Structure formats: structure tokens, C-alpha cells
Structure 1
Amino acid sequence: MKTFSSTHYRFIFILLVGMMACSGNKDQSESSDMAEAVTLSVPDMAHNSRNSLDWFGVYRGTTPCADCEGIETSITLKRDGTFKRSMKYLGKDENSFFDEGEFQWNDEGSKVILPGEAGMRQMYQVGENVLFHLDQEGNRITGDLASMYRLEKNRTDYLLEDKNWILIELRGKAIEKKEEQKAGHILFNMETGMFSGNNTCNNFFGQYELMEANRIKFGQAGSTLMACPDMETERLFMEVLKTADNYSIADGILSLNRAKMAPLARFELSDE
């Protein structure tokens, strides 16, 4: 059966309006009802997943696998139209796959299309904080395993993320910036799920994940390898990133904590 785009529908509507104008008042009520029906059938392209959802971010989940225990998948969708994808085939020796590139939206703005090897592609339906893994025809997967074909978006916190936090206290001691020392700071990137900053000597970076009740999980951090006069502050800073498991924010102050103990480190929100 032939389908029509929103452009076709609008053309039909304009044609109906012209016919009503030419026919004067004859059957005006009936023509108005027809025009209203056509207008209501035009898709509202301004309210689709692409335009109305905060779809950018990191999605994670484990989908079924035909010859392994499952495919642990992470997909980062960025606002500039690029993606990063990693897949780990659980229970296999050669089990890791990574790619990146540009993704596309379908015409309706409801699905994203990621390219793959040998011309293959994978489509995902974009929902509220979720990506639904679709079949090769772009349809939702049904059956007993349907609920497993979904990737959940990382939690976000607008009070924490995309802000520059300056180190002011470490292990209960105020930080006094020395002339030869860089300012310690940390930033949490909502779009990529990456943390980065400087530990008063070296730049560092890694992945993080937010969970319920202001819990946070820091991944293994990488850093540059410069030598500085005061390496103890750097050591303590990096130790905080290994041990902190929750955070709190109050009056522009971020605290990184371990369980319910005293704050491991405190930061103030930068004005810059």
C-alpha cells in the first residue's frame, strides 16, 4: 500500500482549501469537516524523539547472544551526530569490539541508525532514557526475551554535571594553592559519562556512573605523568577517586564521600 509523507498531506489540505474557496458557501460545513480531518492526520514533526527528548548520553545494557552468555553493550550518542560503541561478548576468549563514527536519524526522528562492518547497520528506537535494540527491518523485538533488548541511559544530575568544581579541601584539610601548584579541579561530562580534571599536578580522566541516592561509581582513571614538587596532594586526590562511592551538593559545595563517613574531598563551584 502506498504511503504519503507530511508534504503530501499538506498539499492535499491546500487543494481542499482552494476547492472550498471556489465553491462559495455550498456545503461549507461538510468541506470544513474534511479539511479538519486531513489537518489532524498530518504528523507533528516538531514533537519527536530527536526534538523533544534529551537523547544524548551513554546507554548501557546486556542483550541476548546466539553463541555466548550475552553482549555487554555501551553506546555513547553525542549532540554532534557521532557515536562510540563498545561490545563485550561474555564467555568468549576474543570478546571485545569497539567502533565509532557518525550515526543517522530516520525521517520521523524516532530511531537512530549506527553503521557497522560489511555494510551492516543496527537501528535503535529512542525512548525516554532508553534505546530499544531493533531487528534488521527496524521493528521492536517481541517474545520472551523482548525486555532484554534495551539499553538504559546513564542517570544524569544537572546540579553535578557540566560544571567545573575547584578543590578546596582534601581529607579534612583546606587546600592552600602554592605558587608552583596548579588548581585541583574536576568536571563531569553528562554527554560522554567521562570525568576529567587536574589533581594539582597531572591531568586525569576516566568514566563514571551515577546511581540512585546520589551514589557514584568512578572507573579506573588515567593521567599524565609529570613530576611536581608536591606529589602528596596528587596521591590523596587520586585515592579519593578510587574510594568515593557517593556525593552531596549544598550551597555550591560538592562533597565526595565514602559511605557515611566525613567527606573525603570538597569542591566549590567555579564561576568561570
Structure 2
Amino acid sequence: MSKLSYYLFLSVFFISCQAEKSSLENKSDNYEIISDTSRASLDWNGTYKGILPCADCEGIETRLTIKSDGEFERSMKYLGKDDGLFFDRGTFEWDDLGRTILLTGENGESQAYQVGENVLFHLDQEGNRISGNLADMYRLEKSFADYALENKKWVLIELRGTPYQQDENQKEAFLFFENESVRIYGNNGCNAINGAYEIEAGNRIRFGNIASTMMACPTMENERIFNDMLKEVDNYSIADGQLSLNKARMAPLARFQLADGE
């Protein structure tokens, strides 16, 4: 082989190796982009809240629940307006990169959000992050979670310091805190109940308006005490499979036992 042929061979070999290396690097970069997504890496489902800017009101108090089954529920309260409370629901889809969701309501209207760690960024009509002085206001923060409390059934064992025993004329009194929707479900010993709750740091908790069915029961006193108890609770504690609902540092208003199998 002549020297010229030898050098030409080395040049082609070097260029080929560099091209293969570049191709592998590009594939690796693309893999990182595809795999490192909000959808794949974040615990994104749950309830997000915040007050979004409003052109003709004091703000839009927004509560948005995105569910793992691809559905959403949303409430929007236009602050300062008497008739400014609206509810909608629908489905959402992820973009190809798994970083943004597009909500489509039952009325056909859509809204996009970029999904971050414990936050949703409200996007403009072109799907871009909003910039400027109000940028920080276009975000919804995820509700605080406590998996020691949530997604478990808690059965009532004590109410206002008195042991609670279910008799044959009563239904089981219990509470279930659903993390994804941040709603409480249960029974007060007579009627089914449900409503919103909110957990804050330091085991602080508060309940929203509690809705109830309207069945008549032989004894209604425990039902009244149970419902009134939920209105007073401002903190909770969990120890040895028992949940205590408390007000300040007073004696527990109610105690619950973790249901069998939980």
C-alpha cells in the first residue's frame, strides 16, 4: 500500500469513528430528554390550588384536581363577584415530551399547564410560560400530603371523650381521606358525608363544608356531635394505628382506629 493510500485510509477511518461517536451521543441525549419527563419522574396527580390574575376581578381562586386516570375537576371562584363560582370537569392529555398537560373541559374549552415538582404553571394560549411582573402569580401549588393519614380508612372509637360503640341501629362511623382529590368521605354513624379538607405543615388540618345525606336515624345525637366535631378540628396526630382529631392542645375531640387490612 502506498503512503497516499495509507493516509487516505486513516482519514476515512477517523471520520467514520467520529460520526459513530456523534450518533451515539445524540441518541444518548435524546434518551435523556425523553426519559427525564414530568410524567415519568414526578408524583404529579393530586390537587393544586392558587389565585390566578383576573382582568375584571380581585383574582380567580382556582382548585384543580388532575387524576391518574386522565380526568380532571376544577373549581374557579372569581373573587369580589356574587355569582363568580364555577365548576367544570373533563379530560387531559400529555404532550409528546411528557412535560405539559392540555385540559379539555366538557364545554370544549382547553387550557395548558406545564407540570413541575409540586406546581402547575398556567400557560398562555400559545402554550408558553407567562413572563413579566405577574409571572409568579400564574402557578398552582400542590396540596400538602401525608400518606400516614391519607388513602386509609379510620373507624371511630371515641367521640368527645366517650368510647363509641356501634349498635345494631347504627352504621359504622368512619373517615377516609382521599389524597388525589383531597376530599374526605365517610359516615357519621347515620348518614354518609363528604367534603374538602386541607393539610398544612405541622399536622395542621381543616375541613371545608361537609355535605351529608338526609336519612333519619333512631338516634341523631351522635351524628350532630360528629358533624360539630369536624368544624372545630384544627390539628391531628397519629400513633400506634390511631388517629386523633384535635383542637389546639386540648384533649382529642375524636379518636379513630385504623381499619383492619389497612
Q: TM-score, normalised by structure 1?
A: 0.86
Q: Does 2:36 align with 1:36?
A: no
Distance 1:213 1:42 in 2: 42
Q: Matches of residues 73-92 of structure 1 in structure 2 within 5 Å?
A: 73-92=62-81
Q: Which runs of 5+ in 2 are unaligned?
A: 1-9
Question: Structure 2 vs 1, CA of residues 47 and 271 (structure 1 numbering), >3 Å: closer, same or farther?
Answer: farther
Mapped contact 2:122–2:139 kept (Cα < 8 A)? yes
Q: Matches of residues 203-214 of structure 1 in structure 2 within 5 Å?
A: 203-214=192-203
**Structure 2 match to 1:127:** 116
Letter in 2 for 1:164: K
Deviation at 1:34, TM superposition (A): 1.8
Residue of 57, 65, 78 corresponding to 1:68: 57
Deviation at 1:116, TM superposition (A): 4.8
**Structure 1 match to 2:91:** 102
Residue of 175, 186, 190 corresponding to 2:164: 175
Q: Matches of residues 188-227 of structure 1 in structure 2 within 5 Å?
A: 188-227=177-216
**Structure 2 match to 1:148:** 137
- CA deviations on 1:136-175 (whole Å, 9 max, x unpaired) are 1111111111110100111110000000001011111111
Question: Structure 2 vs 1, CA of residues 77 and 185 (structure 1 numbering), >3 Å: closer, same or farther?
Answer: same
Distance 2:183 2:109 in 1: 29
Distance 1:88 1:176 in 2: 41
Deviation at 1:117, TM superposition (A): 8.1
Deviation at 1:29, TM superposition (A): 4.3
Deviation at 1:101, TM superposition (A): 0.9
Which one is further off, 45-54 or 159-168? Answer: 45-54
Distance 2:219 2:86 in 1: 40
Deviation at 1:68, TM superposition (A): 1.4
Mapped contact 2:90–2:106 kept (Cα < 8 A)? no
Which one is further off, 225-234 or 156-165? Answer: 225-234
Q: Matches of residues 252-263 of structure 1 in structure 2 within 5 Å?
A: 252-263=241-252
How many residues of Structure 1 are paired with residues of Structure 2 in the alignment? Answer: 249
Identity of paired residues, percent? 55
**Structure 2 match to 1:46:** 35
Letter in 1 for 2:28: L
Aligned residue for 1:50, secondary structure, equals: helix
Q: TM-score, normalised by structure 2?
A: 0.90
Aligned residue for 1:159, secondary structure, equals: coil
**Structure 2 match to 1:9:** none
- CA deviations on 1:96-143 (whole Å, 9 max, x unpaired) are 222111111111111111125875421101111111011111111111
**Structure 2 match to 1:139:** 128
Aligned residue for 1:219, secondary structure, equals: strand
Q: Does 2:160 align with 1:160?
A: no
Q: Which runs of 5+ in 1 are unaligned?
A: 1-22
Aligned residue for 2:13, secondary structure, equals: coil
